[in-house]
Structure 1
Amino acid sequence: MLQTLLLALVPAAHAADGATSAPAPLLIGVVVLAVLAVAGVIFTRPVDGMIAGAGVGAMATVYLTVQHFVAQHGGTSICNVSSVINCDAVNTSKYSEIGGTPIALFGLGFYAAMGYLAFRTKAGRSSAAPALLLVGALGSVGYDLFLAYKSIAEIGALCIFCAGTWAINALLLAGSVLLVRKLEVPVGKALTTAFADDAIPATLMGLGVFVVGLMVVKMESGSGGVSLGGAPKVDDFADLVENVRGSIVLDGTEPVRGDPASKYSLVEFADYECPHCGLMSPVLKKVLEENRDVKLLFKHYPLSMDCNKYMARPMHPMACGAAASAECARVQGRFWELSEQMFANREFLSPDDIRFMAEKAGLDAEAFNACVANPAAMDAVKADIEAGATAKIDGTPSIFLLGAYGDKWVKLNVGPGDKDRMTAFFAHLRAGKPPPTPTEPAPLPE
């Protein structure tokens, strides 16, 4: 039952950046209508509006919490419209967690506490609760301003559902102000009373919802069974492998991680601004550490119209420059060192940022700058893009395998949450067991 509910909240989507999602106008329209509906109630019946706002906010945070874990399994949000309107870019950033826990889950606890206080007010059980509602709303709006700044100024992307919660919190602030104005005692006195009578129960309510939510996501994502992302058990390989739409072409210039003589070869097409690629990078490194008979080859596929003629819309404005920089690191034998840094800091890929990372990676600065300025670096990137087009990839990361089916390449349907599954698959092959029959790939989106 729980899994069905969670999967209903997170519709199936392509497991890669660059895939299509819900139409932007429709999605934005739904969010705007929800916010307007709450606003209409708040400014006519403030208490009812506060309850409605807490409910809408709670639903949004449930979705964002689930989607945070889904993204770690390679799933994509329904609001990934472009590089600017992209929930996963925001929801997988370093600002999306506190101590490894998604901030959306803290938000769920907040809305539970606000809803509790609003119900207390409506039932006439607390005449001072509006003062506490005001404090909570002020705190949430202040934190929202911080998140909005980080989202726009640093991440360069906007999450529609996050923005919806910001609007809801602003409305909760407006509603609490309307309720406070009706208090028969000064706000300070009401606040003292509210802290004495309502603060502990409201905190326990919010904390209880938070803890239950945390337990659920921990159990679901770490049970070894079906996860929040709908990922199969680690020993279920039925849908792990699919046939390649096109063909895999290597030119011998690909950076190689692992033993070049390894029996199994992985080829990854990736983009340095892609959230899922950033999550996948350390996972693949661990897979290679645990499976010494597997090597990884890297090919660039920046999702940017600046260098990728197959892109129909703008997505990742810094991706082409980052790819060319990685090529220059390859020339100096430091590809993986710079690559790891760029994946880990995908929100900071300006030329100056990359030069700083290149120095940290031990590259010769003068030679690096000269290489980046040389068109040959971008030519190498474009050659990889052509290879991606030949393979008919539909997004990033796209990962292909050679060695399990003789000289036949297949695509691996894996995401950042599939490390154990990949290791189990290679152990399965190593034991001489037959690999699963590859499924047919879905048609490319038009």
Structure 2
Amino acid sequence: MDSPGPGPLRTLLDRLRSETGSALLLLGAAVVALVWANSPLSASYEALWQLRINLEIGDLRFDMDLHHWVNDGLMVAFFFLVGLEVRQELSVGSLRHRRSRLVPLVAGTAGVAAPALIYLVIAGAEAPEGWGVVVGTDTAFLLGVLAIVGPRMSSQLRVFLLTLSVVDDFLAVAIIGVVYSEAVEVMPLVVALACLAALWLLGRTREWRSGPYVLAVVVLWGATVLAGVHPSLAGMAAGLLVPSREPERHDVLRAKYLFRDYWQSPGAGPARSVQLGLARSISVNERLHLALSTPVSLVVVPVFVLANAGIDLRGGALVAALGSAIMWAVAGGLVLGKLAGITVGSGLAVRLGLGRLPDGVGPGSVAGGAALSGIGFTVSLLIIDLAFTDPAQAQAATVGVLLAIVAASLIGLAMFTTARRKGETSADLPTVLTPEVDPGRDHIHGDDDAPITVVEYLDFECPFCARVTGMWADLRHHFGDRIRYVVRHLPLEDVHPRAFGAAVAAEAAARQGRFWDLHDVLFANQSQLEPDDLRGYAVDLGLDMSRFDDDVADESVIARVRADMLSARASGARGTPTFFLNGVRHRGSHDARTLIAALEDARAGESTGPE
């Protein structure tokens, strides 16, 4: 019996969590705020956000109106999430490698400096304090618009823009915290610094439970509010101090054995042990990011937009805003400054040899993404609230932010259209397996002529590859003789120094018909892959050692591994494990159940397709 599909509420939430859905949600909140603030009910809009809320904890007293509770309270979750994302990128993501981070670092810095300069040129004499309004990019809105107007396949451009946004967000939050904070109170500041020290110590001691981190962040928020430092800086700093790491093999194995205990003896105690074991295997950073991402995107940021985008444009206010130098400085800084700064900055970094653009991303796509980076919105609205005390100036700046959304989107669309006409039809890695599977060359489990093919690019030192080695048995159990499993080498030499030698040893064993035997031994002994270890495994398998030693040193065997690495690059595989299902690169989870579902969906599509 088929399981019931998701209900309408779950379907709606899934759509809102998508990049396009998030952008539409923010736009909808802005429209509601504008309509409300310019309707006969405008007084209720003002009254709502001026509602006083007093929170007393002993001698501590937090007395703010609802508008400030949103901006200084709820939004700390947003900036904490930004800090978590920055730490992830620095630890295990696109900012981990020097050559990967220098181009977006230069481009992101230029994308902050150029808009500020344009703002000061236009409105520096009238309102120099507003230059911070134009430095930030609304990542959620940018990605939503990119999904609508960008290339059909743009995952590599998306990664590049996300990396840019990390730099952009870090600089924008630093500017908010340093430039737009009030007079600082010393004792609360000392408490805040102590909380940051506690977060650092928790990371150093590898504390895996999230509770102590959350407690430290809550106390940190209260201390920064009382100290007069804007909580955005505290949120970002706290997120940066929450450690991020790849899952470690021994933690995953512990969770597996705990689940086996529950399977054999189901009960509340074993279930709790499984829950804790699973949590321990995933970094605190990733767990907090997962817990916060949905409420922040669906509640915190839309409520913030609702509280800040409602400007009263009646009585000639719109005409006055259009005639204000501040409005044109904000719109010009965001639209022209981001476009020029990011485009020129990335081009200069590449020309100087500091790095290169992601594979598949051309200059036209960079220009289109740079144009969309002119969508400031969330951070811009926050800084408007901090920078301007004159309501007329704040109105003019808000109109400039809203105008920039429209202009940046249209310019981005024009840039992407021009790029497509010049041949930049994609901003992504290749997705088709190149070359195709060759039974005379490739290592194949199953029938050479099986209609279903799964190809894995693997690295013998990669812990994730080791975890999926049993996946083939599940696939074979489901599909029987209709499936074949193929492996190719992709040793990641920059992070796994022994992987290449292990791949060569496996190919040497293949010359004696023992590839799969050594394949299994190598994954079972990932921590011991030195040359002497490899020879020991060959001895244990009973290989002809004279021939094995000769083959390990044979240039043709080494070239065989290099050829697989070149085919990985030509096919769009950059990490391990990467799977190709019937010649097409698979995206997403690679557990057996997911791969089986993807293969069944592909077969169903083929059977219902045009004859």
TM-score, normalising length from structure 2? Answer: 0.35
- Which of the pair has more CA radius of gyration? 2
TM-score, normalising length from structure 1? Answer: 0.46
Higher helix share: 2
Q: Relative CO higher for 1 or 2, CA cutoff 8 Å, sep ≥ 6?
A: 1
